[in-house]
Amino acid sequence: MSSAMEAHPKGLDGSEKSPEAKDLLPSHTASTLCISSRSESVWTSAPRSKWEIYQKPIVVVSVGGAIFLFGVVVTSLSCFIEANKVVYKMCGPAFLSLGLMLLVCGFVWIPVIRKKQRLRQKSRFLQSIKSFFFNR
């Protein structure tokens, strides 16, 4: 019984490759994925412009301001127009609160980004000092 278990199939002797062996060939997809990943910007030291850094908070503040102003207009319409007054009284404060929330989130996001940038600059400075002293 042990002799039957020791016998190898003819197709796997090395001269012929099985379909499973083709799957085991090294591929370059892992290196391609690492290069195209979003985390690459963390490891590169390419300087970014102010617009690239503050683009998202500026967009959030702008959209929040527009929604807030729209809420002010809709709320003021409830004072002047008698038709559909209930709709204006319900929608106006909703747009006011949504716009105010986006404004506050955008304005808080800007100092958070500034603090993050300062910490990143300090980290780069400390890394350069460490590499200067310890790589000699």
Q: Has this prediction a pTM greater than 0.95?
A: no
What pLDDT score was predicted for residue 47? 76
Per-residue pLDDT tens for 41-84? 455 556 788 888 899 999 999 999 999 999 999 999 888 888 87
Q: At what angle do helices 85-134 and 50-80 cross, to 10 degrees?
A: 170
| Domain locations along the chain | 54-134
d(CA 117, CA 39): 16
Q: What tens digit of pLDDT does each residue of 31-51 get?
A: 444 444 444 445 555 678 888
Distance set, CA 34 to CA 26, 27, 126 (Å): 16, 13, 26
